[in-house]
Structure 1
């Protein structure tokens, strides 16, 4: 029984050269960076993230209020419920503000980075053309 092995090297990835290749690599690198930044931002403003969820001390206070509810008068229970609802409303307003502020800032950064990238590409093309 004989075995044969064929040794072949994997083909090298072909990439365009010159200005087109430079453009493709720049666009690819910028896209990767943008996706990485967007992923970080989306993770930060996710509703389950520590930044966007109700703080643990507040949750603990709500649990204590619920445990003490049996010892309260109806008036006190109603006041605690109003306070709890107001705290949740304030937290939700703050969460919405943070989300909107992050979106505006991300759009601004994306625009600034795009303008810088265009400027760098233009400078690179000008240098390339002037060297020829």
Structure 2
């Protein structure tokens, strides 16, 4: 089953890291990525929230600056991972957190969307 693991963090804290501190976290995360090899799909670090735009409202909507979530942390990245079940997805998030302990990880089941196709049920783990 596919899961999204959303990585939240206080953006100002992450931006305050030195290049060496950031590189250290990334080295740790690459180690987790290697352990998840074959199950890890797209992963990304999102750009600065000050460059984000939100589309909301009726009709064509209105584009406004920034993500206006009422949280102390901001969504700064995400992973897509193929896991047997929720427990395995939580274990993967705990592995990520061991190397980035000040981050918050949200785990959500994910349905694969293929444009032009019906919304399928999420398939089981690869090879199952």
Same fold (TM over 0.5): no
Q: Which has the higher strand share?
A: 2
What's the TM-score, normalizing by structure 2? Answer: 0.26
Instruction: Name the structure with the higher helix share.
Output: 1
TM-score, scaled relative to structure 1:
0.26
Which of 1 and 2 has greater Rg? 1
